[in-house]
Structure 1
Amino acid sequence: MSSAIPHTSAQVETSTQKKPKARRIFHWQAALCLVPFALLFYFFQLAPMIWVLMNSFVYEGDVAITHYSDILESTFMRQAFSNSLWLSFWSSVAGLVVAVLMVSSLRRVPSRIRNAVIAFTNMSTNFAGVPLAFAFIIILGVNGAFTLLLKQYGFIEDFNLYGKWGLLTLYIYFQIPLAVLLLYPAFDALEDDWQAAAALLGASTRQYWQRVALPVLSPALLGTFIILIANAVGAYASVYALTNGNYNVVTVRIASLVSGDLFLEPNLAAAISVLLMVLLAIVTVVNQWLVARSYHGKA
C-alpha cells in the first residue's frame, strides 16, 4: 500500500512560480510565430496602402488635392466608378440569391452529391482571369456556341458579350462559387427540426424562411454580400481580357495609368485607388452597422 507524500510549502511555491514562467515562454513563442505574418502584412498590405495614400496628394512635385478634384470633375472617371459599382452591386445580388438557393438545396441531397458539388465549386473559384474570358468568348461570344443556339431557336435576337450585360453575366459567374463557399458553413446554424416545428405551428415554407431562417442567416448574408462587392470591384484580368480595356471600369483605368502605352500618371492612379478604398470602407461600415442591428434585434 502506497503512502501519500506530503508537499512542503517550498515545493508548492516553486511549482506555482514555474507555471507563470512557462506561460510567459509560451506567449513569447506564439508571438515569434506571428512575426512572419506581420512582416508579410506590412510589406504587401500596409506599406503599399501608405505609399498610395501619400502619393495621391503629390501633384507636379507639390502637395495638393488636384488629383481628387480632377477625378470628381471628370465625367469619364465618374462613369468608371458608376460602371464598377453597378456591376459589383447587381452581380453580388444575383450571385447571393443563386448561392442561397444552391446551399439550401445542398442540405437536402446525399452527402456524395454534396461533396462533389462543393469540390466543383471550389475548383470554379480558381477559374478566372484570361481562361474565364476565353471560355465566355467561345460560349457566349458573337459566334459563340450557346449564342448561336439561342438565336437559332429564337430565344434572343442579339447578345453583346462585350457590353455591360455581357460583363454582368461574367461577373455573376465568378461570384456564385465564392458565395456558395462562404455561405455553406453558415447554413449549418439552421436546425432541421426548426422547419418541422414551424410547420407544426402552421407556418408555411415562406413564413419559415421569412421569420426564422433569414434572421438567423442575416449576419452571414450581409458579410458575404460585402465580400462579393469587394471581389467584383477589384476584378481586372477577366474584364481586361474580354474587352481589351475598352470598357470603362475603375480597375482598367488604374491599370492604364500605371502601365499605359501613351502616358503614365501613377499619382492619379493612387488617388483613384484611395477613393475606391474609401467607398469600400463606407460599404463595410454600413454592413457592420446592419449586422450589429440584426444581432441586437435577435437579442
Structure 2
Amino acid sequence: MRRSISQKNRRAAWLGLLPFLLFCLAFEIVPILLLIRDSVFSKAGTLTMSNYKQVLAPLYLKSFWNSIRLSGITALIGTVAGLFIGYSIYRWPSQRIRNLLITLSDVTTNFAGAPLAFAFIIILGSNGLVTQFFLKSLGLKIYPAFSIYSFSGLILAYVYFQLPLMVLLIIPAFGGIKKEWRESATNLGADTSAFWWHIGLPILAPSLIAGFVLLFANAFGAYATAYTLTGSRLSLVTLQIGFTITGEVLHDPGIGQAMAILSLIIMGTSIGIYRLAIIRAERWNRH
C-alpha cells in the first residue's frame, strides 16, 4: 500500500514538472540543437566547419575581444561598487529604508535595453540635459572627450544595470558573517581592517566570484542597449550575430549561428562557475 502511494506521489510530481520540461525542450534544448545543426552547414547545405573558421576573421575576433573586455570591466566595477553599496544597505538601521533601497535596486536592474539607452541619450547625448548644463553653466565641453555612443559610454550604461544586480546578489551573503565572529575577533585584538581581510572577505569570496561571473554573462549577452547606442559603430558579439542573421551587407546566418554557439559556450562556462561559487557560499549560510 505504502509503495503504491509513493509511486503515485512520484508520478504526480513528474506530472507537475512536465510543463516546465516541455518549456525547456521547446525554448532551450530544441533551439540549441537547431543552432548546432545550422552552424555546421554551408549555404549550399553541405556539412562543413567553414562557419567556425570564418569566425576567426579579424572582424569577428575583435567583436569577441570587445565583448569580453566590456563584460569584464563592467562586471569588475559592478562587483566592487556593489560590495560597498550592498554592505551599506545591509547595515542600514531603518528596515523600511532598507527594503525601499532593495526594491529600487530590483527595479533598476530590470531597466535595461532600448529604454535605458534612450534615457542616457536624453541625459548624456550630444544635446542631452547634463551635457548642455555643463556647457552653458560651467563652460565645459563633454564632447568629444566623452561620448555616450562610444565604448566608454557603453561602460557607463552597462554599469547602470550591473551595479544594482550585484547589490541584490551580495546583500544575502552578508548574513553569512556572524556577529559572534566579529565580537571574537575584536576580543582577540583584531581591528576592522584585519577582520575583513582575514575573515570577512574570505567568507564573501565565493559570493563575489559568483556575482562577478553572473555580471559578466549578463553583460556578454546584452543586445538592445548596445545596438541602440552604438549601432554598427562598435563591434560586439551580439551585434555581429544580429548583422549576420538579419543584415543585408553581412548576411550569413551560418557564421552568426557559429558565433552564437561559441557565445553559448562562454555563457555556459560562466554559469557553471557561478553555480560552483554559489554552492561554496551556501556552506557559510548553513553554519
Equivalent residue number for residue 15 of structure 1: none
| Mean Cα deviation higher: 78-87 or 211-220 | 211-220
Equivalent residue number for residue 255 of structure 2: 268
Equivalent residue number for residue 9 of structure 1: none
1:175 and 2:162 aligned: yes
- 1:28-107 equivalences under 5 Å are 28-59=11-42, 60-72=44-56, 74-107=57-90
CA contact (8 A) 2:217 2:271 kept: no
1:279 and 2:266 aligned: yes
- 1:198-277 equivalences under 5 Å are 198-262=185-249, 264-277=251-264
- 1:97-136 equivalences under 5 Å are 97-109=80-92, 110-136=94-120
Instruction: Give deviations 1:127-169, integer Å, cap 9, x for gaps.
Output: 1111100111111212222234445547775311111111111
Give, in whole Å, the separation in 2 of the partners of 1:279 and 1:215: 26
CA contact (8 A) 1:96 1:179 kept: yes
Equivalent residue number for residue 20 of structure 1: 3
CA contact (8 A) 1:218 1:291 kept: no
Give, in whole Å, the separation in 2 of the partners of 1:154 and 1:191: 51
Give, in whole Å, the separation in 1 of the partners of 2:279 and 2:100: 35
Distance 1:36 1:208, change over 3 A: same
Give, in whole Å, the separation in 2 of the partners of 1:285 and 1:34: 23
| Mean Cα deviation higher: 137-146 or 191-200 | 191-200
TM-score by length of 2: 0.89
Give, in whole Å, the separation in 1 of the partners of 2:132 and 2:184: 50
Distance 1:180 1:295, change over 3 A: closer
CA contact (8 A) 2:211 2:274 kept: no
TM-score by length of 1: 0.86
Max radius of gyration: which structure?
1
Distance 1:37 1:284, change over 3 A: closer
Distance 1:156 1:211, change over 3 A: farther
Deviation at 1:206, TM superposition (A): 1.8
Give, in whole Å, the separation in 1 of the partners of 2:141 and 2:4: 74
Partner SS state of residue 245, structure 1:
coil
Deviation at 1:245, TM superposition (A): 3.4
Alignment gaps of 5+ in structure 2 = none
Give the length in aligned residue pairs: 278
CA contact (8 A) 1:142 1:159 kept: no
| Mean Cα deviation higher: 260-269 or 237-246 | 260-269
Partner SS state of residue 261, structure 1:
coil
| Mean Cα deviation higher: 122-131 or 261-270 | 261-270
Alignment gaps of 5+ in structure 1 = 1-17
Distance 1:89 1:78, change over 3 A: same
Give, in whole Å, the separation in 2 of the partners of 1:226 and 1:147: 33
- 1:6-17 equivalences under 5 Å are none
- Taking only the aligned residue pairs, the percentage that are identical comes to 34
One-letter identity of the residue aligned with 1:174: F
